[in-house]
Structure 1
């Protein structure tokens, strides 16, 4: 299955009812080690069944409840894995995701899914885009630190310079007939001697073509701030820079033909360009947190942060990966219970805070525990 999206995250949060089982496991990808995947998986299924047995409200037939996950346990399935596997099971609901991040073995049974281990894939701090440029092919790819996550489909995105400019010429001819010649000067630099014929000025045609590409991308990039990396032969990139209207394009690009490159190879080149930008941005976020603490607009108190997250106050949140804080928060009564060990009906409060922050448009930094500012379990900046 594809990488988790914000829309799928919402589905995981909102759709299931009753007991929810979340299972995480690392997965071997090569050779005989893949045989251990099945052994580890069976152990985790047994652990999930044992956890379910503790609940009076458990499904009557646990074998039937867990069956969609159990059916995955076949040799062919284990031969096509990434670094980790995440599974989510509820009554009448099942999803699984192969994920490119290392997982620890974890089983959580609660009245909602445990999603925090996946938050690094959804954090707002490492999303970037690659625009591959060619006269006969243009693609927009989305990625993060773990790889290329998808090819973005853009309605009206030109794919071929000849066709795009011929269509544009036809449209402008129609405008001239209706408008008494308006726009003639703009057409002269890109004039044609018949479809597919020689052009008077290739650079002007490329600029016109890239202006059409930029126009098609405009709505998608509206209100986005992620870096955009250009990829193509070196003479194309400065021409696209001239046509570009997106404020977060990266000056450095991938300056060669990328048509034959794999997604993994393309990601490696792009990530080397954008990683320093993300590191600088994360340091800015840490500095901003310290400034906000001094101004009374930040907190590392879990009770205060949980309340703020549920009411949309959290602008920026740092949570540690691999750390859980168990308890229950009632947003109606504003009451928080915390426990040293997970009890029946508990949820990971850090998970809840992160999910609510994402849903309310905040940015979540899911980081190693030692990278949370002030060495605390949580760190937040409030909008107000």
Structure 2
């Protein structure tokens, strides 16, 4: 069964090392005659990966055992009738990860000592994540989104589930029954649950009741959104929006809202309308990073030298990495000597140095922007902004 691709699954892939690690990417199709061609192309990629593993000196018996889960997937006709736009497969001894992707990816089969993750980075980049809060007097909902997906966050034990419930618990002698445990976002993210106190119940106006209700929601969301820097978009009928803004304490609440009853909107509609609001924000951060690169390119704080960048990424120096999605640069990196060797063609023991730089940058809390070759600064396959 396909797994959900999210930040946590990417971290899992980043941490897994072994011999051999097989990474396979390919575009897939939802309908048409191409659907029948997808398993054939997948079979060819399996043969390519098998040959590469054998050429690297692995025994035929261990390669066959390694590829067994992929062979089962190849024979699963149901799987090929229910694809998305792309497919990613990762195989290692006792490991098998299978992801359907919402975007096309180029065909690629690589065998190395770790997984190749560069094609996945745009899909899970933290710089493209946001939240939607669907306001309701009966059923508030929170969603965690990216350009390609939207997952609902479980709020049942975190905030009051209705205005009526909020007012029922909003008494000095009562405590709400929200716990300091952990709630799970569908797709793997986790969020803390909290204790909150009852408050003043001496109110006669409905608007004030709603404000107190929204203040309780805001306090609960602090436990989820507290460490975040992602934009929050609120959705609701027009008269609720200014009341929530009065209650809000999250500094990254977007000025623009989704106006309308979210209970009557499908998740696809919410997702589409929220993305239209937050997309310029994400484009701005990328443009600002590219502009800063141009300002610092001759200062020693920026570089497009592959060898320098690979070594710097390993030593926690890369703050922002720009890398192209459509190239591989083969070579090796020795962390003991900090030596980087670049080869014109893939040689035994080589890995994609662009992917290595991306992995190390992510592991050291840097940002990675995967760009088209024509959008790369200095027309280089890689460029970086350094922390020091």
TM-score (ref. length: structure 1)? 0.89
**Structure 1 pair 59/203, CA: closer, same or farther in 2 (3 Å)?**
farther
User: RMSD of the TM alignment (CA)?
Assistant: 2.0
Q: Does 2:301 align with 1:297?
A: yes
Which stretch shifts more, 372-381 or 86-95? 372-381
Q: Does structure 2 conserve the Cα–Cα contact (< 8 Å) formed by 1:59 and 1:65? A: no
- CA offset digits 1:72-115 (Å, max 9, x no partner): 23221122221100000011110011111211110001111111
Q: Distance in 2 between matches of 1:2 and 1:209?
A: 37
Q: Does 2:116 align with 1:102?
A: no
Q: Does structure 2 conserve the Cα–Cα contact (< 8 Å) formed by 1:83 and 1:102? A: yes
Q: Distance in 1 between matches of 2:77 and 2:321?
A: 40
Q: Distance in 2 between matches of 1:184 and 1:241?
A: 21
Task: Kindly state the Cα deviation for residue 32 of structure 1 after the two structures are TM-superposed.
Answer: 4.2
- Selected match of 1:283 from 282, 287, 293: 287
Task: Kindly state the Cα deviation for residue 160 of structure 1 after the two structures are TM-superposed.
Answer: 2.0
Task: Kindly state the Cα deviation for residue 116 of structure 1 after the two structures are TM-superposed.
Answer: 0.5
Q: Distance in 2 between matches of 1:349 and 1:262?
A: 43
- CA offset digits 1:111-163 (Å, max 9, x no partner): 11111010101223311111111112222212222232x22335513322211
**Structure 1 pair 263/33, CA: closer, same or farther in 2 (3 Å)?**
farther
Q: Distance in 2 between matches of 1:152 and 1:2?
A: 18
Q: Does structure 2 conserve the Cα–Cα contact (< 8 Å) formed by 1:87 and 1:94? A: yes
- CA offset digits 1:31-66 (Å, max 9, x no partner): 443222212111111111121220213452433221
Helix, strand or coil for the counterpart of 1:130?
Answer: strand
**Structure 1 pair 340/262, CA: closer, same or farther in 2 (3 Å)?**
farther
Which stretch shifts more, 131-140 or 6-15? 6-15
Question: How many residues are matched?
Answer: 364
- CA offset digits 1:160-195 (Å, max 9, x no partner): 2211231232xx2359xxxxxxx9994322xxxxxx
In structure 1, the residue matched to 2:170 is 168
Q: 1:52-71 to 2 correspondence within 5 Å?
A: 52-58=53-59, 60-71=61-72
- Selected match of 2:130 from 128, 131, 135: 128
**Structure 1 pair 185/116, CA: closer, same or farther in 2 (3 Å)?**
closer
Q: Distance in 1 between matches of 2:33 and 2:205?
A: 59
- Selected match of 1:234 from 238, 243, 246: 238
Q: Distance in 1 between matches of 2:199 and 2:138?
A: 26
Q: Does 2:213 align with 1:209?
A: yes
In structure 2, the residue matched to 1:187 is 201
Q: Does structure 2 conserve the Cα–Cα contact (< 8 Å) formed by 1:130 and 1:231? A: yes
Q: Which has the larger radius of gyration?
A: 1
In structure 1, the residue matched to 2:140 is 138
**Structure 1 pair 294/61, CA: closer, same or farther in 2 (3 Å)?**
closer
Helix, strand or coil for the counterpart of 2:103?
Answer: coil
Q: 1:213-292 to 2 correspondence within 5 Å?
A: 213-292=217-296
Q: Does structure 2 conserve the Cα–Cα contact (< 8 Å) formed by 1:319 and 1:350? A: yes
Q: Does structure 2 conserve the Cα–Cα contact (< 8 Å) formed by 1:123 and 1:366? A: no
Q: Does structure 1 conserve the Cα–Cα contact (< 8 Å) formed by 2:303 and 2:383? A: yes
Q: Which runs of 5+ in 1 are unaligned?
A: 176-182, 190-199
Q: 1:329-340 to 2 correspondence within 5 Å?
A: 329-340=333-344
- CA offset digits 1:176-230 (Å, max 9, x no partner): xxxxxxx9994322xxxxxxxxxx3221111111111111111322232211111
**Structure 1 pair 242/353, CA: closer, same or farther in 2 (3 Å)?**
same
Q: Does structure 2 conserve the Cα–Cα contact (< 8 Å) formed by 1:300 and 1:376? A: yes
Q: Does structure 1 conserve the Cα–Cα contact (< 8 Å) formed by 2:54 and 2:60? A: no
In structure 2, the residue matched to 1:352 is 356
Q: Distance in 2 between matches of 1:354 and 1:11?
A: 15
TM-score (ref. length: structure 2)? 0.88
